[in-house]
Structure 1
Amino acid sequence: MPTSQATDNPVKPVNLKMREDTRALIDRAAQIKGRSRTEFMIEASRRAAEDAILDQTVISVDADTYARFVAMLDAPPQSNDKLRRTMQTKAPWEPQ
């Protein structure tokens, strides 16, 4: 007998307390997106959770690769005239 998604991944309620102005803002945004408040909040929360987890990603490398990486960081910078000119150029919003 096949299992249903409902039994494999049950939905459980979450209760939140929030200020009325925050709730109104969420409701307005949900309406703009054509979603219910619940759908909007779940989507936004899930995206924020994924971003937080992705920000914590660790990249593992072998000892030789790590040693080469550290050597590049410790090496004096190479001359780069284009970068030097870019860094010395005033930003468009700064007075000339």
Structure 2
Amino acid sequence: MTTALKEKITKNARLEFRVADQQKALIEEAAQLQGVSVSDFLAGAAHREAVKVIQDSAAIQLSREESARFVQALLSPPAPNAALQKLMQDPSAR
């Protein structure tokens, strides 16, 4: 059980959903094996998955080749083109 589940947390939000009988039985067994209620088991599992999904969506996955090109672009950026040079001369763009 995670530390967050052991702490006393005020729970006032509610989620409801339906599952197949087989899913319910599996979830109940897993919760029992961990010594927690079905609600705590599902809340913990959903929270862990939500954190993972959010972290995964925030990270950019690059191949080695893409990584090398990205680093090269940072280290050796292209020279500014005429449009960028003109924009940089405009005081309102600063």
Q: Report sequence identity in percent.
A: 28
Instruction: Report what 1:34 is aligned to.
Output: 35
Q: Which structure: greater helix fraction?
A: 2
**CA-CA distance at 1:58 after TM superposition:** 4.4
Q: Deviations over 1:9-34 (max 9, x none)?
A: x6122111110100000000000000
Check if 1:47 corresponds to 2:48.
yes
CA distance in 2, matches of 1:19, 1:32: 20
Aligned partner of 2:71 among 48, 69, 87: 69
Runs of 4+, deviation exceeding 2 Å:
none
CA distance in 1, matches of 2:70, 2:13: 49
CA distance in 2, matches of 1:44, 1:13: 15
Q: Which has the higher contact order (CA 8 A, sep 6+)?
A: 2
Q: Name structure 1 gaps, 5 residues minimum.
A: 60-66, 72-96
**CA-CA distance at 1:57 after TM superposition:** 1.5
Task: Provide TM-score, normalisation by structure 1.
Answer: 0.52
Letter in 1 for 2:50: A
Q: Name structure 2 gaps, 5 residues minimum.
A: 1-8, 61-68, 74-94
Task: Provide TM-score, normalisation by structure 2.
Answer: 0.53
Instruction: Report what 1:57 is aligned to.
Output: 58
**CA-CA distance at 1:70 after TM superposition:** 3.9
Change in 2 beyond 3 A, CA 1:39/1:68: closer
